[in-house]
Amino acid sequence: MGEKPNADWARTLGEVERSVSACLETLSRYESKFAKVFDPSPSGIVRFDEAGWQAKLAAAENEVQRAEQLIAEQEAEWNRWHESFGNWKLSVERLAVAVK
């Protein structure tokens, strides 16, 4: 009986670790994809001319969709992390009861 809480705890801790890693990977992708948007230097400023306005507007819409997708992925990873952390907490509580 003493092994099951330990096994649950180790499995849940592994889930937490994988979820946190996935969150960090999603955040890194987000930062790299949108580095130019956050670049305050003059080279990061995009200038529009009248002829290219529609193309730039379409490109911006595409970037918004990509950003929304990355945010949704990050939110999903955080939800998985939260669930894994909840499972870990239950495992710790079970272990505490088993040790008593």
pTM of the predicted structure, to 2 decimals? 0.44
* Residue 49 belongs to domain spanning: 3-99
pLDDT tens for 5-17 read 678 878 887 888 8
Q: Is the pLDDT of residue 51 over 70?
A: no
pLDDT tens for 82-100 read 888 888 888 888 888 887 7
Q: Which of 93, 98, 75 is nearest to 12 (CA)?
A: 93
**Mean pLDDT in residue range 51-70:** 84
CA 44, CA 20: separation in Å to the nearest integer? 31
**Mean pLDDT in residue range 58-68:** 88
Tally of structural domains, the chain: 1
